[in-house]
């Protein structure tokens, strides 16, 4: 494992332990990068899911006939995953098929991927939950993608959940939703989020002791 991946692994573990989607969204607001949260209909299979890693993007399109090799680029993409990556799959909201399932989850985990965000449907949901691979999706549909959808590109800019995602952006997802942090502001956003968590903890302690919200807000400036 190279130094960047070691550093990422440590960073993402700390983010999962200390941060959450709402405080990261607030930190993005602070640096002037607003509305970086995906649509609310992208939900986790498991409510306890927390994902944090770098975006590995996949783009697919609907088709209406079987291709000679419908899985060629899809297999190439999955085999190109790296440790700490999060699959961010743009189906353009297709409702025709379940593009993700047990075998793709298994292949992704074997490459070190830490989760998947799919703006369409998935299948094999019970098996995926049993293996504990974190997935957010728009719904479930037990229909194979062959002849209905095909991967046309990967590691490209995509739009998922109304948010543009570039390869390498940090993706953080919990029960509240999916936040995408652009690479050029990630250090500042994470720093501000950590600071706000400390202020929120101090605010909570004082409120529990009976302090008035007005006074606590005046002191810490968070709500």
- CATH number, domain 36-181: 3.50.30.40
Q: Which single residue is written with the structure tokens 């939703």?
A: 177
Task: Kindly report the pTM of this predicted structure.
Answer: 0.94
DSSP string of the chain, one letter each residue: --HHHHHHHHHHHHHHHH--HHHHHHHHHHTT----B--TT-EESSTT--EEEEEEEEEEEE-SS--SSTTHHHHHHHHT--TTEEEEEE-TT--S-EEE-HHHHHHHHHTT--EEEESSEE--HHHHHHHT--EEESEE-----TTTEEEEEESS-EEETTEEE-TT-EEEEETTEEEEE-GGGHHHHHHHHHHHHHHHHHHHHHHHTT--HHHHHHHH---
Q: What is the mean pLDDT of residues 57-86?
A: 96
Q: What is the pLDDT of residue 1?
A: 46
- What whole-number distance in Å separates Cα of residue 72 and Cα of residue 81? 15
Which pLDDT score, from 0 to 100, does residue 4 have? 65
CB 148 within 8 A of CB 62: yes
Strands 139-140 and 121-122: parallel
- Cross-strand partners of 59: 90, 153
pLDDT category at 72 given cuts 50, 70, 90 is: very high
Report d(CA 87, CA 92) in Å as an integer.
15
Q: Please identify which residue in the block is written with the tokens 């209406």.
A: 64
Confidence of residue 3 (pLDDT cuts 50, 70, 90): low
- Tens of pLDDT, residues 162-200: 999 999 999 999 999 999 999 999 999 999 999 999 999
Distance CA 179, CA 215 (A): 31
Confidence at 129, pLDDT banded by 50, 70, 90: very high
With contact defined as beta carbons under 8 Å apart, do 203 and 216 qualify?
Answer: yes
Question: What is the average per-residue pLDDT within 52-70?
Answer: 95
């Amino acid at each position: 494992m190279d130094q960047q991946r070691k550093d990422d692994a440590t960073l993402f573990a700390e983010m999962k332990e200390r941060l959450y989607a709402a405080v990261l969204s607030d930190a993005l607001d602070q640096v002037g990068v607003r509305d970086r949260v995906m649509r609310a209909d992208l939900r986790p299979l498991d409510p306890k899911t927390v994902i944090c890693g770098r975006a590995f993007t996949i783009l697919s399109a609907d088709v209406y006939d079987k291709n000679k090799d419908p899985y060629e680029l899809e297999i190439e993409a999955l085999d190109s995953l790296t440790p700490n990556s999060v699959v961010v799959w743009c189906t353009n909201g297709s409702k025709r098929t379940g593009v993700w399932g047990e075998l793709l989850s298994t292949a992704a985990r074997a490459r070190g991927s830490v989760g998947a965000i799919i703006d369409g449907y998935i299948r094999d949901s019970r098996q995926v939950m049993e293996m504990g691979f974190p997935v957010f999706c728009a719904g479930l549909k037990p229909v194979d993608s062959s002849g209905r959808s095909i991967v046309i590109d990967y590691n490209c800019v995509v739009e998922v959940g109304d948010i543009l995602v570039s390869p390498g952006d940090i993706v953080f997802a919990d029960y509240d939703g999916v936040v995408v942090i652009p690479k050029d502001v990630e250090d500042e956003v994470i720093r501000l989020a950590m600071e706000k968590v400390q202020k929120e903890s101090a605010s909570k302690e004082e409120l529990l002791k009976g302090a008035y919200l007005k006074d606590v807000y005046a002191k810490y400036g968070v709500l």
